[in-house]
Amino acid sequence: MSNIPKIVILGAGYGGILTAQRLQKELNYNEADVTLVNKHDYHYFTTHLHMPAAGTDKMENARVSISKLIDEFKIDFVKATVQQIRLQDKKVLLEDGSALSFDYLIIAMGGEPETFGIPGMAEHAMNIRSINSVRFIRQHIEFQFARYKRDQSRTECLTFVVGGAGFTGIEFVAELADRIPKLCKEYDVDPELVKIYNIEAAPSALPGFDPELVEYAMDVLKKKGVTFKIGTAIKECTPDGVIVGENEFIKAGTVVWTGGIRGNHMIEEAGFETMRGRVKVDEYLRAPGHDNIYIIGDNSLMFNPEGRPYPPTAQIAMQQGVTCAHNIVASIRNQQPKKFVFSNKGTVASLGKGEAIGVVGNRKFKGFIAAQLKKAVDIRYLFIIGGIPLVLKKGKFF
């Protein structure tokens, strides 16, 4: 029997892929067996999905094959869907009936849409959460234009509702507003007939962002044709649209929900104590009561020095992945683990072609400069996971 510890990573998102890459770099030969499990054979850039969803970029630019990111002599990649996590047995059950045993487990499976119990939202709204969901939204948008041309009494086909004005919602409506004029030209539709609504229950768009930059962002998007309903909750989503505020009905052919995410349902089912599907991990990213189980990304709950939970961003998931790998190697070698300390590199939100807003340190950016900053952020990530070859293949320079 081999005494080499088995490390299993669930999920190849931002946190999972960084953990795998760091482990393959830091572990010596035969020091551990590492298995990466993901239901697709590609890693996709969640922060880029709003573009192919609206149809302003190619789907291929939002993903890269996992085999190009890991050394398959050091990491065993298993393309499979996780069915159950059995903590007591130290096993992960897969949908095909097979099982993986582990000594160390990293849960980085990504989140799920949080509908806050809004009736009909889960059933009737679309979500920007994966390559497949994005492909569906893109085709659905084009279908609505074709449908209207076939029956011009169906004006609701040209009404688009985006629920949530956080990062994903704002970036998606910006791309959608950029795409609409081209679709109108392609389908011979009067642009005046198209309506884009962005609805947010909070008192501000981009909650937590600098108010001056939020105002700038909303002005940019209003000029592109977006109608905002801020401080207005969606009461219900139906097959024909949404009910908002004081029972106002907006008839729409397309409803996209970007109002929040929660942790993966399998975490709660495994027996962890959760808050909105997230586990409050310790300072070393370990699950309570389990020194060999690490939870990162959308599934982890950590608090900043002010006592507020960190938002589940790609930036924090990446940094958690690096620390997680370090701490597993330290555990194998009986060394001291490292506390996770988040280093905020800044935040940039795209507002469509040539426009963005951003904060880096105490400096605020908007317009063209912020748009270039957004490209730099994307190129930096491509370089981190795939070096210059991936930057040249997927990077946007113009």
Residue positions annotated with a catalytic role: 171
Residue 187 and residue 62 in contact, taking contact as beta carbons nearer than 8 Å = no
3-state secondary structure 60-85: HHHEEEHHHCCCCCCEEEEECCEEEE
C-alpha span between 192 and 183 (Å, rounded): 13
* Amino acid type, 51: M
Residues ≥6 apart with Cβ < 8 Å to 303? 309, 310
Query: In the block, which residue shows the tokens 């605020």?
Result: 364
Query: By C-alpha distance, which of 107, 34, 35, 106 is closest to 266?
Result: 107
Question: Cα–chain-centroid distance for residue 110?
Answer: 8
Size of the chain in residues: 398
* 44 strand-pairing partners: 63
Residue 178: its H or E element: helix 167-187
* Amino acid type, 16: G
Residues ≥6 apart with Cβ < 8 Å to 258? 127, 128, 162, 163, 164, 166, 168, 169, 172
Instruction: Write the DSSP symbol of residue 110.
Output: -
C-alpha span between 321 and 16 (Å, rounded): 6
C-alpha span between 281 and 276 (Å, rounded): 14
Residue 243 and residue 235 in contact, taking contact as beta carbons nearer than 8 Å = yes
Residue 384 and residue 318 in contact, taking contact as beta carbons nearer than 8 Å = yes
